[in-house]
Structure formats: structure tokens, C-alpha cells
Amino acid sequence: MKITVLGSGGWGTALALLLLRNGHDVTLWSHSAERVAQWRLAGENPRLAGVPLPEELRLSACMESVSESALVVVATPSFAVRETARQAAPLLRPGTVLVSAAKGIERDTALRMTEVLEEETGCAAAALSGPSHAEEVGRDSPTGCVAAARDLETAGLVQDAFMGPRFRVYANEDVVGVELGGALKNVLALCCGVCDGMGLGDNAKALLMTRGMTEMARLGVALGGRKETFAGLSGMGDLIVTCTSMHSRNRRCGILVGQGRSPREAMEEVGAVVEGYFAALSAHQLAQRTGVEMPICRCAYEVLYQGQSAASVAERLMRRGKRHEMDESWL
């Protein structure tokens, strides 16, 4: 199958290599012709250092390849998905399936990434999500993800394209739950990083992860998702890996904030897109719109966007009124 991957960061590069290993004809697109030339000369993408780029992998700064592709994977940062889809739209042939590999919610519109893709192109869109660090997928480490679309035929097509000996893919028609899990866990990973940076300990981080999962599922159900989805790879699975690994940009950014850096200073030091920063605003907007209680995500918004201290919001979280644990449980 001819496949184009739009977005040549570490994640897009890792997915392109995976699809190439699966026997597909793959083009990896970058918006920069200069970078493409540098990577071909160096034999690797510095965003995925140490992983060779095979000669069979086509590298291009021209988007024309999407016109010949049955599958187009969008692996840009979430804030660039709309513009990338808009550029690709006139070139897409009828019946092309788009795959969102971006884990985010669009600012202001609060649309999920598949909604943005479908709005801009008119093509069917699926989501690929789950615990999948680019560094490990690029090196062919065992990984599992979820391919989600409103109809199982589309989800199955994506499942077949990505499934390999060391990359398991499960199908799911709950695209709402899968996408929200992938986006919201970034906010919680940032919070867990703050917890680590402040030295609050493992107990506090376990508390954040568990109660954060409840918030994710609560909002997901309010927006039409299934709570069971949040117990799967795109919910609990992705939450665990993102909150505990130093591969996680969101956790690393949170650690720096917990140590006293401003959010902007922390993101600059991480040196790559921190999706949790943008998702914190979207989560706050969605919680207000739906009336869903999300105290952890609200505190993230207050620290990241209102300049409140992490110590003060942590104390406020701990002093909240008594609750029964099973009130609106995600189980």
C-alpha cells in the first residue's frame, strides 16, 4: 500500500519506519526541503537519533505524494493539523483514509483531531493512539496501540496497515474516547512531572494518576465516549507510560515547572512541543462547557495559564471536601 506520513518529527519518523517494515511504500513528508537534504546526508533524523533512515524510505518536502496514497498519516503537532490538512485536501483522491497520530484538542474550537481532518478534507479519518514513545517504536520495541474510527471497516484498514510482529493494534469504534484519552493524559503527565519536580513522592503521583483517570473518563463520557475505553491502551496504558517515563516531554516539562521554572522556560528547555500545555487550556474549556468537575485539570490550567504556584494549588487539591471514591467512577 502507498502511504504518506505528514510530519517528520520523532513520532512521524517512527511511524514511517514501522510502516516501511510492514512492507508498505512509504513517503515521509517534511515542510522543510533543507531538513530533508540534511537527513538524507546524515542517514538519520536528529529527532530520532541513532535510528537509521533506510534508502527505501522516501523523504520529501513536496506534498504531491498524498495524491497517490491510499492512507495518509498526519503526525504533526496538534496545532499544525488543520493547516497541514488544508494543504493536503486538494491533492487527496476520493476514498483516501486519513489517520490522526496527533494527540491533542484544537485550541478555541475544542475539536478532536479526526474532526479537524474530516472538516478540512471530507475524507474518513481514524485515530491511532496508545502507549507508544517514538524512541521505542523507531527501534522496533514491542508496542501496542488502538486504531479507532466510527466504523470498524475503517478501523480495520488502519489496524491491518500498522499491525506487525512487534506492533500490536486493536480496533475500536469509540473514536471519542480514544482521542480524548490520548489528549488528556498529556495534561496529567505534566501534573505528575510537577509532582516529581516538587519532590512530593510516589504516593502523591499515584493519587494524581488514579484520580486523573476519573477526570478523563468523566469528561469522555460527557462528550459521547465510553468509559470502558479509558481502561484500555489509549487511556490507562498511555497514562501510565507518559506519567512515568523520561521519554515523556510532558513529564519533563512538569518536572521543570515543579522545580521553579515558568511554563515558557520549561518548554524552551525541553526543546520540543509539549502537547499537555495546549491540552490543559482545551480541557479547562471543555470542562466549563460541559459542567464536568475536573479539579486536577483545573489546577493545571491555573498553574500554566494564570501564574499560580504549584505548591498552592497542590495544597488546595488536598484540602477539597470529602467524597465517596465510587462517585462517578470510571470503572
The per-residue pLDDT for range 156-185, each reduced to its tens digit, is 999 999 999 999 999 999 999 999 999 999
Distance CA 229, CA 278 (A): 23
Tens-place pLDDT, residues 75-107: 999 999 999 999 999 999 999 999 999 999 998
Task: Please choose, from the candidates 109, 137, 155, 99, the residue with its C-alpha nearest in 3D space to the C-alpha of residue 10.
Answer: 137
Return the pLDDT at 326: 81
Q: What is the mean pLDDT of the chain?
A: 96
Distance CA 207, CA 313 (A): 15
Distance CA 293, CA 298 (A): 9
Task: Please choose, from the candidates 102, 96, 122, the residue with its C-alpha nearest in 3D space to the C-alpha of residue 6.
Answer: 102
Return the pLDDT at 328: 65
Specify burial of residue 9 (Cβ count, 10 A radius: 0-12, 13-18, 19+): middle
Return the pLDDT at 108: 87
Per the listing, cell 510492514 goes with 22
pTM for this model (two decimals): 0.94
Give the residue extent of every domain in the chain: 2-173, 177-318
Selected catalytic residue, list 185, 205, 227, 322: 185
CB 254 within 8 A of CB 194: yes
Distance CA 196, CA 154 (A): 40
Return the pLDDT at 33: 94
Annotated catalytic residue 185: yes
Per the listing, cell 493547516 goes with 83
Region 125-134 average pLDDT: 98
Tens-place pLDDT, residues 40-50: 999 999 999 99
The rounded percent of the chain whose pLDDT value lies above 70 is: 99
- Write the Ramachandran bin of 125: left for phi over 0, alpha for psi from -120 to 50, otherwise beta: beta
Return the pLDDT at 9: 95
Return the pLDDT at 308: 96
Tens-place pLDDT, residues 179-233: 999 999 999 999 999 999 999 999 999 999 999 999 999 999 999 999 999 999 9
Going 86 to 91 to 93 to 98, the CA torsion angle's sign is negative
Distance CA 28, CA 36 (A): 9
Return the pLDDT at 324: 86
Per the listing, cell 506492533 goes with 167
CB 18 within 8 A of CB 99: no
Return the pLDDT at 329: 63
CB 53 within 8 A of CB 40: yes
Distance CA 102, CA 94 (A): 23
Distance CA 239, CA 109 (A): 24
Distance CA 253, CA 224 (A): 31
Tens-place pLDDT, residues 265-308: 999 999 989 999 999 999 999 999 999 999 999 999 999 999 99
Strands (E), the chain: 2-6, 25-29, 58-60, 71-74, 97-100, 125-129, 143-148, 167-172
Radius of gyration of the chain, Cα coordinates, nearest whole angstrom: 19
Task: Indicate whether 68 pLDDT > 80.
Answer: yes
Task: Indicate whether 330 pLDDT > 70.
Answer: no
**CATH match for 177-318 among 2.60.40.740, 1.10.260.40, 1.10.1040.10, 3.90.1300.10:** 1.10.1040.10
The rounded percent of the chain whose pLDDT value lies above 90 is: 96
More confident residue, 265 or 323: 265
Query: What is the CATH topology of the domain spanning 2-173?
Result: Rossmann fold (3.40.50)
- Write the Ramachandran bin of 55: left for phi over 0, alpha for psi from -120 to 50, otherwise beta: alpha
Distance CA 275, CA 112 (A): 13
Task: Indicate whether 242 pLDDT > 90.
Answer: yes
CB atoms within 10 A of CB 256: 20
Return the pLDDT at 251: 97
Task: Indicate whether 235 pLDDT > 70.
Answer: yes
Distance CA 65, CA 92 (A): 9
Contact partners, residue 7, CB within 8 Å, separation at least 6: 29, 73, 74, 75, 76, 77, 80, 84, 101, 102
Helices and strands: H and E segment counts in the chain: 14, 8
Which of helix, strand or coil describes residue 19?
helix
Band the pLDDT of 331: cuts 50, 70, 90.
Answer: low
- Which grid coordinates are listed for 180? 480524548
- Which grid coordinates are listed for 311? 505548591
